[in-house]
Structure 1
């Protein structure tokens, strides 16, 4: 800022404010000339008289006076109260054009508004171009972020593809499992040629016999628990107490008598002989243990076919008739042993079968857990059946029951306790898979007798004759009356045995032929009217 020199002895400036950019604005202050004796030009010098310019005086920095200095000396520091300055006087030198004072940072002002900024608060830099390092870094960041987004999209697509593949594999595996279990109606492995081969080919069955002893009523109920490991199905075959068996001495007896008199071992052997099965063990289940077993598995659900009164409280109902009835231990025992007035024993057997199937549905399919349940019963088992073996066997049956591959059926017998041929074909052959085993050394030949004479008493005559001859009698029931008796063997090794059987029964040797024998006998005999029973 240039100010015209107006002939005064000294030019002074005072601060009047600040411009829009924050720079200080000064104005000149006119003062009377004052020269000291040591001035270079002497007293009363007029610079315009000689045509010379007055000496140029260097402007001094504005100096604020301390209001507390009694002599008015200039304070070296700035204060908030300083609003003007007076430059120090110096002796004139060469005449020069006076210059405005150098800018000095104004004293700090009290903060006003949020938008009142000072210049020194900012630092200005040049505008970066595309080649600057900041721009390059920004471009790199943008590119890396784009790449991350693309990578995330690729990972998402890969996860989606992997999920689809897993779902397809699960679907295929599930269909394969259902096919393997034979639960697909049109793709079952048991359908078509494969199913026929499985049904007619060799099959493996695990069989145990269970005897339910009613400790209060004294009656017994017997069933065969069958696990067909070939077809993956299980069955409870309920055996009536009237079923005719051969005793250990060859005498005729019933199942009920055999259980009471011959015990588990003798009954098991008699059933093996009659049905052609291979019973692996006997499970004696007294009603108190059945009560505990139901309680251990957490009660059972049964669709009951009758109401059962409470034996402990007369006039009250312990089990109600209806679908999906929850039975506790005492209720399950009462229902399994209940036989209504005038009902056949088969009706009670069916209820026993329902309770056993309900227990199996609630039992664990894990062999170890099932074994623990058996051990908790603390019952004394037959030596031929250990707790571990029974637990593993029940676990397999439980698996079948939960999958719906389980059924119960009563073995039908005739009035005399014999098994008819139709029964042998439908139950003994298909369910039990009765097969003739090669007799061990010392075992007697098994001879099946079917009475077709029209006289039931002749069955007992034939039985006595065979037992006395050292043979094992196997009842084949009764059939349609025929005129001529016949003796049949299936294995050529038994041809001579068949001839001896014919002689023992008083039949001609011409009656001996090779053909199909009963599945549970080495030699089969059909007694016709020509058999006299001598």
Structure 2
């Protein structure tokens, strides 16, 4: 056993350096070392501020600070006074940073101290104990703990450029696609137009024809029916005022009272009787059914209202076709015949309702048409002014046509009458009251845009009934019997002189069989059936006498 005294035997382990080597403290006083193994100076200074006070964990000298000064992390940086070291102003910040560094370093080497094997008692110390020279401590600076994330402007520029390029490419592709679609659509339209033109030319035979809108039903029309009713006698005159917005023309259609129209229940009557019995609403429905038209509304213009209307427009001027005598014998003519006659309200009514000796019903109807055209030429074309004129009449308007609607329609018609785009035509009616092909084509189809319904050859026969029994019940009973038998009833009115025997009259041999069937239906003997002239609007005419027991 070596008796040589171990110089490290009495030494105590002071700690470990940064590399895990033990650091011994000798029994005799020795220089102090910091945690990195660097010797600490032994000099000491007084307590005066600004003098070196010791060394920190990095071997840097520390200076004493004023006792009352404390570090405020939120305070602004304080600058050292003149004559004081710069370290004094930075001491709080350095102390905080150094404390963080020491804590991290201690966490690194303290576990190693626990893992180091303890020194065995009595173990021989090395022959020559030397304290390993510590390696210099790493130079930690505050900027090493500053992590600043700076945006990459180049990357943003690249992204923006990619977006711009992508959107520009999409817009260019979209323009190309729309251009192709327009080209295809234009080509299709041209092909259809050329093909349609060639097809029309081939079908039409190369000749020009009127467009369907010029004569067909695909036109916008405004139709109202006007009934002039006389307060004395009950006679009436009917005119259809047609305002065609498509052709910009107006037409007044004169409708004879002898026109056969249907009543409710399937029976037939004349237009004149329908105005008296069914009124404006029932007559309008009957005309729509017969003509296949769309009449907007009805205007009942009694003679006193016509007189007031002529006065409101300031009188009218027209060419009279006849002279109207005065009310009393010996008086001069109320209306003189001639051109450019000025008529007031009373004389205009007298001319519109006058029917001379031997004249048919069409003559006064035509004169009423003249008066209506002259009134429209004097009426205002402004809808408000025309409505005011209608309101001044103080009429009770029909539910189908309000005062405002009537005023607007009359204003449109007045404008066309002043421009010369107004015409008057009569509806041709056959002797039996029906409408023939000429009326169906020239007036109903072209002017009204409708279709006549009574031209069907398979329609039920129209049976006209005149009551000559002397009582009112016989006509109603005959109507019910004929309608139940499948016939169309036409009211012939009441005969002034009663007849003893009934008669069934047919106009030609084609109706002879029907006349016999009608007699059987009414319970009349076959001997009462005979050929003759009956009602113009009926296929077979029945005159009920006192022998009818219906």
TMscore range, shorter length:
0.3 to 0.5
Which structure's CA Rg is the greater one? 2
TM-score by length of 2: 0.46
Question: TM-score normalized by structure 1?
Answer: 0.47
